[in-house]
């Protein structure tokens, strides 16, 4: 709505935007300086690094999901196939790889669960549920489900 | 306590050498001084050419945001003391084209703010003689936090997405859109949806979360954006199962 | 030279300016409105107002009560016709703001809530926690973005008005980002530039409050009214001068001296009660409370700190819950700027320059004696504030009179000629030459503009503060003359055209000197004590001579001349101001 401004407004949509024009200073026309984002910008701050790691560790999450599906598929092909598969998995290289995947999964899970209160605003009996309760409920559900699985495994 | 402290100040003179540089100033150190007081000392007594913005010096006008030792802060509310013994590096806010020295160009934000329609939209407006729209304290509580934004631009400066994708509507503007969406007096959510739900709206945000950390008024724009994503997604699925209903 | 045309030009983008712009847009959407502001509108000083805005809404309140509180609070120097208009239109304006989204505090049933304030007999102060000005300004700004006929010149600094033969044709402005000087031509011009508290060193006022509009008007021959009345707010944080809102006292805070004694009882302000009593003790008017501080200081009963003498504001007994709910900003400010927590500690406070009751002489529609020129807000003197403004009347004032000035500007836009006279454009060219040719030319090093500013502020604080006398005022007058002469020898380090804030400071100090001159000359002329103007050499109110406004204008020879204009009395005969009874 800056209809009267005659210098480029600085808006991206404006054809006179900094990068688009006036590399040279001319009287009454500002020459903006725009910093370029370095490739390693995410090393600038620990918070950014953590963010990038959270994004990257979505790969282990994807891997774990596909792995689980693969396991079910192998299981459907009979006990021998499954035996061979398990032997494969006992290989030290695989064990090391899966240890890494586990670290990535835990990192992603923890950072992700910690963010849940931002996206979720709950009201119970007219009062706002505090953030720690939402995070706690998520962790509780996680631990509870893990416990159920362990119980099933132990009872086998 | 030292008698003086050194400031390394970002200088950019568009008419001169072209590339920016850092200039070092030594200012008296006082316990009660903020970074802004040190800049004022330079401006008034050492170098009148230093350019920066400030007004209220009580943390509410939002003018004096700068990058101090890498962090976006309001310089009127940031003591020198934690940075001792110095030097303290003062730069303009990241993410904005620099006009000169510590002055960034904020026109982009003003345009975006207008695009999200930050005003009460109603099908029928009531005249003042008919009295106030009733709003309980709980209803006010639903949007109050987002109404505290002072437009200081620290959240944009902290957002790497805005720096990488300058088209992104950005944290403050989206939080202000949500401020009106969640106001019980407003009926404009659908109009704002057109802007917020486009790629440059909420979906550009990958939830770095720094905007909420640096916010001096605890507005939590990151929360506002994630909530909008959840609501928009739910609306989308609802529109799939209920024919005739648009998102 | 470039020219930009608007139907209505609003100078200043604070509360009054935005309200005026919206009033124009609503009255006639075909008219174009330009808002020229030296800062982005949301930076304007309205943003700092804390406590609230007054308007009658409770069924047990009445317009007459509001008018009486205002008039007695102003020590009978208010124009009563203006006050009547003000209290009458206040509720509607405040409701309109509610409809635009302002988050006014509410009662549990959803209706508007009110709180008590100094000098008011009933709870009639609407509030948005203790950030009322902030919410009001942002609501107005965001609402103004709705109107396609309003365009903004953000960070354009107006240098002076273009006035020819008794009519205003616009103004000359610098676009800060480019250094370009532009003639803003308009059929009507509304001044909304706020006050000039920065003539003093210790003030709640933002750095930007340099009395620009008052100085423009003064130089254009428009009289300034009641400039000697400077309001000291009794509770500012020492060193920073940050305001601790009167709402702290409205909610029940106490002022105590170094012995923990509620000293206001010694100054004819009532007897202490544990709960707040309206128009009594801590809820007395600001002028009397600030004067009481000086009394305590002279008796040696204030507390000495590294920032000078203070008294204490005690809100500990209000409890953390109420403080966080009603006074969160006070807590935030104390923690951040004074490193104390008012929930557990005493707040050190002292009087601080806060508001100028005086300003550009206008009628009740904001019209000045110059055709096509209007004013509203702190820059104007309508006058509803008299010799002492009541807290929470100023936010309401900028809504009521901002809207009135905007509507009047629309009505009179048709009277303007279609083309401005050549003389106006010649003035604009002269200013461009003066700035680009003289000020921005590299010169041999002279004095710094900051030196002039500091000496002016020190002199005003010493001689035109809470108490004044002839000798001191004469000293200040001579000092200002000297500083004016020395301005010619000031040079700028900065000769750049891009965002030259030193040039800006130079032009602001020029404005401050004009405003300070008007203050000191008016104060010298008023040989009585009334409201915030207290003369040691004339300690009594003198209705025979001075039940009148001071009008100061600059003569053709450049000398200030003060004359008196009788106060308009409608229904409330002058009487003694009584508090605490």
Residue A14 domain-assigned (yes or no)? yes
pLDDT, tens digit, 9 for 90 and up, residues C493-512? 999 999 999 999 999 999 99
Q: Which of C34, C145, C498 is closest, CB to CB, to A30?
A: C498
- Cα C18 to its chain centre, rounded Å, is 16
Residue A6 has pLDDT above 50, yes or no: no
On whether both A30 and A52 belong to a single domain, the answer is no
Residues of chain C found within 8 Å of residue B14, distances taken between Cβ atoms: 498
CA distance C86 to C91: 9
B22-36 mean pLDDT: 96
Residue A33 has pLDDT above 70, yes or no: yes
**B1 Cβ contact partners less than 8 Å away, ≥ 6 residues apart:** B29, B31, B84
On whether both A45 and A30 belong to a single domain, the answer is no
Residue C307 has pLDDT above 50, yes or no: yes
| Mean per-residue pLDDT of chain B | 93
Q: Is B30 exposed, middle or buried (0-12, 13-18, 19+ CB in 10 A)?
A: middle
pLDDT, tens digit, 9 for 90 and up, residues C396-428? 999 999 999 999 999 999 999 989 999 999 999
Distances (CA, A) of A121 to A19, A31, A77, B179, B230: 41, 45, 45, 15, 10
String of DSSP letters for B57-107: SSSSS---EEEETTEEEEGGG-BSGGGTT--EEEEPPTTS-EEETTEE--H
Identify the active-site residue in C6, C124, C249, C554.
C249
Q: C453 with C509: CB under 8 angstroms? A: yes
**C375 Cβ contact partners less than 8 Å away, ≥ 6 residues apart:** C190, C191, C192, C213, C217, C359, C360, C362, C366, C368, C405
Residue C150 has pLDDT above 80, yes or no: yes
* Predicted confidence band of residue A1 (pLDDT cuts 50, 70, 90): very low
Question: Which chains contact B through at least 3 pairs of Cβ atoms less than 8 Å apart?
Answer: A, C
C137-151 mean pLDDT: 97
Strands B103-104 and B98-100, sheet pairing: antiparallel
CA distance C360 to C554: 13
CA distance C234 to C254: 12
Identify the active-site residue in C115, C169, C198, C233.
C233
* CATH superfamily, domain at B4-104: Beta-grasp domain (3.10.20.30)
A7 to C175: CB separation less than 8 angstroms, yes or no? yes
Residues of chain B found within 8 Å of residue C132, distances taken between Cβ atoms: none
CA distance B42 to B11: 13
> Token pair of C281, please?
């003790």
Residue A15 has pLDDT above 60, yes or no: no
Residues of chain B with CATH 1.10.1060.10: 107-241
Q: Report pLDDT for B245.
A: 54
CA distance B100 to C82: 46
Q: Which of A1, A4, A7 is closest, CB to CB, to C145?
A: A1
| Mean per-residue pLDDT of chain C | 96
Around C285, how many Cα atoms within 13 Å sit in the side-chain half-sphere?
A: 24
Q: List the beta bridge partners of residue C490.
A: C447
On whether both A81 and A47 belong to a single domain, the answer is yes
Q: Which of C92, C239, C332 is closest, CB to CB, to B129?
A: C92
CA distance C28 to C150: 11
Q: List the beta bridge partners of residue C525.
A: none
pLDDT, tens digit, 9 for 90 and up, residues C106-116? 999 999 999 99
| Residues of chain A with a CB closer than 8 angstroms to some CB in chain C | 1-7, 27-30
CA distance C218 to B103: 32
Residue C48 has pLDDT above 80, yes or no: yes
How far B201 CA sits from the closest chain A CA (Å)? 15
Residue A129 domain-assigned (yes or no)? no
Higher pLDDT pick, C236 / A131: C236
Residues of chain A found within 8 Å of residue B160, distances taken between Cβ atoms: 37, 41-42, 48, 51
Q: Report pLDDT for A21.
A: 44
pLDDT, tens digit, 9 for 90 and up, residues A104-148? 999 999 998 888 887 777 777 777 788 889 999 999 999 999 999
CA distance C532 to C373: 29
CA distance C550 to C563: 6
On whether both A97 and A82 belong to a single domain, the answer is yes
C382-409 mean pLDDT: 97
**Domains, chain C, with CATH or none:** 232-352 (3.90.700.10), 423-566 (1.20.58.100)
A118 to B229: CB separation less than 8 angstroms, yes or no? no
Around C171, how many Cα atoms within 13 Å sit in the side-chain half-sphere?
A: 32
C151 to A6: CB separation less than 8 angstroms, yes or no? no
* Predicted confidence band of residue A19 (pLDDT cuts 50, 70, 90): very low
CA distance C134 to B219: 14
Instruction: Give the domain range for residue A55.
Output: 41-101
Q: Report pLDDT for A23.
A: 62
CA distance C372 to C408: 10
Q: Which of C43, C101, C108 is closest, CB to CB, to B180?
A: C101
**What is the edge-to-edge ordering of all strands in the sheet holding C114-115?**
C53-54, C125-126, C114-115
| Neighbour count for residue B50 (Cβ, 10 Å) | 23
Q: Report pLDDT for A2.
A: 37
Residue C339 has pLDDT above 60, yes or no: yes
Instruction: Give the percent of chain C with pLDDT over 70.
Output: 100
Q: Among A101, A134, A151, give the residue marking a domain's end.
A: A101
CATH architecture of B107-241: Orthogonal Bundle (1.10)
pLDDT, tens digit, 9 for 90 and up, residues B135-192? 999 999 999 999 999 999 999 999 999 999 889 999 999 999 999 999 999 999 999 9
Burial A87-101 (b: 16+ CB within 10 A, else e): eeeeeeeeeeebeeb
Q: Among A86, A101, A116, give the residue marking a domain's end.
A: A101
* Predicted confidence band of residue C581 (pLDDT cuts 50, 70, 90): confident
Look at residue C500 and give its three-state secondary structure: coil
Q: C238 with C340: CB under 8 angstroms? A: no
How far B196 CA sits from the closest chain C CA (Å)? 17
Question: Which chains contact A through at least 3 pairs of Cβ atoms less than 8 Å apart?
Answer: B, C
Q: C231 with C378: CB under 8 angstroms? A: no
Residues of chain B with CATH 3.10.20.30: 4-104
Residue B17 has pLDDT above 80, yes or no: no
* Predicted confidence band of residue B101 (pLDDT cuts 50, 70, 90): very high
**B111 Cβ contact partners less than 8 Å away, ≥ 6 residues apart:** A2, A9, A11, A13
Q: Report pLDDT for C43.
A: 98
Distances (CA, A) of C412 to B210, C31, C368: 51, 12, 12
CA distance C163 to C372: 9
Residue A78 has pLDDT above 50, yes or no: yes
Please confirm, yes or no, whether C233 is among the known catalytic residues.
yes
Query: Is the interface score ipTM higher than 0.85?
Result: yes
pLDDT, tens digit, 9 for 90 and up, residues C440-497? 988 888 999 999 999 999 999 999 999 999 999 999 999 999 999 999 999 999 999 9
- Degrees (nearest 5) of the Cα angle C407, C410, C412? 115
How far A12 CA sits from the closest chain B CA (Å)? 7
Q: C17 with B29: CB under 8 angstroms? A: no
On whether both A57 and A78 belong to a single domain, the answer is yes
B22 touches chain C (CB under 8 A): no
On whether both A71 and A86 belong to a single domain, the answer is yes
Residue B69 has pLDDT above 90, yes or no: yes
Residue A16 has pLDDT above 70, yes or no: no
Please confirm, yes or no, whether C407 is among the known catalytic residues.
no
| Number of structural domains in chain A | 2
* Predicted confidence band of residue A10 (pLDDT cuts 50, 70, 90): very low
How far C176 CA sits from the closest chain A CA (Å)? 10
């Amino acid at each position: 709505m800056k209809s009267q401004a005659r210098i480029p407004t600085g808006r991206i949509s404006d054809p006179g935007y900094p990068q688009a024009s006036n590399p040279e200073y001319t009287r009454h026309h500002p020459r903006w300086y725009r910093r370029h984002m370095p490739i390693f910008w995410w090393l600038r701050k620990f918070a950014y690094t953590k963010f990038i790691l959270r994004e990257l560790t979505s790969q282990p999450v994807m891997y774990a999901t596909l792995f689980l599906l693969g396991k079910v598929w192998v299981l459907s092909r009979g006990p021998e196939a499954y035996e061979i598969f398990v032997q494969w998995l006992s290989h030290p290289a695989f064990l090391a790889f899966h240890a890494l995947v586990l670290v990535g999964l835990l990192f992603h899970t923890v950072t992700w669960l910690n963010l849940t209160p931002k996206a979720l605003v709950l009201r119970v009996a007219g009062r706002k549920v505090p953030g720690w309760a939402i995070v706690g409920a998520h962790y509780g559900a996680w631990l509870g489900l893990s416990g159920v699985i362990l119980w099933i495994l132990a009872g086998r | 306590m030292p008698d003086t402290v050194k400031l390394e100040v970002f200088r950019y003179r568009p008419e001169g050498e072209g590339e920016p540089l850092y200039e070092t100033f030594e200012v008296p150190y006082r316990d009660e001084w903020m970074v802004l007081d040190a800049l004022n000392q330079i401006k008034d007594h050492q170098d009148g050419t230093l350019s920066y913005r400030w007004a209220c010096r009580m943390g509410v006008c939002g003018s004096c945001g700068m990058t101090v030792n890498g962090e976006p802060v309001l310089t009127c509310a940031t003591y020198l003391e934690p940075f001792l013994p110095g030097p303290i590096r003062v730069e303009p806010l990241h993410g904005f084209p620099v006009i000169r020295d510590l002055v960034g160009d904020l026109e982009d934000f003003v345009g975006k703010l207008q695009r999200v329609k930050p005003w009460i939209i109603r099908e029928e407006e009531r005249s003042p003689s008919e009295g106030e729209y009733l709003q309980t304290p709980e209803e006010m509580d639903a949007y109050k936090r987002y109404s505290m934004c002072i437009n200081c631009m620290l959240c944009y400066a902290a957002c790497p997405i805005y720096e990488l994708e300058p088209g992104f509507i950005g944290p403050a503007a989206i939080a202000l859109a949500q401020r009106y969406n969640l106001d019980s007096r407003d009926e404009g959510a659908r109009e704002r949806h057109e802007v917020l739900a486009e790629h440059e709206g909420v979906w550009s945000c990958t939830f770095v979360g720094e905007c909420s950390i640096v916010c001096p008024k605890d507005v939590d724009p990151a929360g506002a954006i994630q909530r909008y994503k959840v609501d928009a997604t739910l609306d989308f699925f609802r529109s799939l199962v209920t024919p005739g209903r648009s998102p | 030279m470039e020219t930009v045309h608007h139907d209505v030009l609003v100078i200043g983008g604070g509360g009054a300016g935005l309200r005026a712009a919206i009033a124009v847009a609503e009255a006639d959407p075909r008219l174009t409105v330009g808002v020229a502001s030296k800062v982005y509108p949301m930076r304007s000083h309205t943003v700092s107002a804390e406590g609230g805005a007054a308007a009658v809404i409770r069924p047990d309140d009445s317009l007459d009560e509001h008018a009486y509180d205002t008039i007695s609070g102003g020590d009978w120097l208010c124009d009563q016709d203006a006050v009547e208009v003000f209290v009458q239109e206040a509720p509607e304006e405040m409701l309109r703001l509610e409809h635009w989204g302002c988050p006014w505090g509410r009662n549990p049933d959803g209706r508007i809530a009110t709180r008590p304030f100094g000098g008011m007999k009933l709870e009639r102060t609407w509030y948005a926690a203790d950030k009322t000005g902030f919410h009001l300004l942002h609501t107005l700004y965001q609402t103004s973005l709705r109107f396609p006929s309003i365009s903004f010149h953000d960070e354009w600094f107006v240098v002076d008005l273009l006035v020819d033969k008794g009519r205003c044709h616009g103004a000359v402005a610098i676009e800060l980002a480019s250094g370009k000087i532009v003639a803003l031509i308009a059929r009507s011009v509304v001044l909304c530039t706020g006050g000039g508290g920065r003539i003093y060193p210790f003030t709640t006022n933002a750095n930007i409050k340099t009395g620009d509009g008052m100085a423009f008007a003064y130089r254009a021959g428009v009289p300034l009214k009641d400039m000697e009345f400077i309001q000291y707010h009794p509770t500012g944080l020492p060193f920073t001068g940050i305001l601790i809102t009167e709402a702290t006292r409205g909610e029940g805070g106490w002022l105590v001296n170094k012995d923990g004694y509620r000293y206001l009882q010694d100054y004819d302000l009532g007897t202490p009660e544990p709960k707040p009593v309206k128009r009594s003790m801590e809820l007395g008017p600001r002028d009397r409370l600030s004067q009481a501080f000086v009394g305590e200081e002279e008796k040696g009963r204030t507390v000495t700190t590294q920032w000078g003498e203070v008294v204490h504001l005690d809100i500990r007994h209000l409890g953390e819950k109420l403080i966080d709910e009603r006074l969160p900003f006070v807590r935030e400010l104390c923690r951040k700027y004074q490193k104390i927590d008012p929930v557990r500690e005493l707040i050190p406070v002292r009087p601080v320059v806060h508001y100028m009751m005086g300003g550009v002489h206008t009628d009740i529609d904001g019209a000045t004696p110059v055709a096509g020129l209007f004013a509203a807000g702190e820059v104007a003197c309508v006058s509803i504030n008299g010799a002492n403004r009541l807290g929470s009347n100023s936010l309401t004032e900028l809504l009521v009179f901002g809207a009135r000035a905007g509507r009047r500007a629309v009505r009179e836009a048709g009277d303007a000629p279609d083309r401005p006279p050549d003389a106006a454009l010649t003035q604009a060219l002269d200013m461009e030459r003066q700035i680009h040719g003289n000020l921005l030319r590299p010169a041999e090093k002279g004095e710094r503009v900051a030196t002039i500013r500091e000496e002016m502020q020190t002199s005003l604080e010493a001689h035109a503060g809470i108490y004044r006398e002839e000798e001191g005022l004469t000293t200040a007058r001579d000092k200002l003359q000297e500083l004016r002469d020395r301005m010619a020898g000031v040079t700028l380090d900065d000769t750049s055209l891009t965002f030259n804030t030193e040039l800006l400071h130079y032009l602001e100090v020029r404005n401050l000197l004009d405003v300070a001159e008007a203050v000191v000359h008016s104060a010298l002329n008023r040989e009585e004590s009334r409201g915030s103007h207290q003369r040691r050499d004339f300690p009594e109110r003198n209705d025979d001579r001075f039940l009148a406004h001071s009008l100061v204008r600059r003569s053709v020879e450049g000398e200030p001349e003060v004359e008196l204009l009788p106060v308009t009395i409608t229904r409330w005969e002058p009487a003694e101001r009584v508090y605490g009874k």
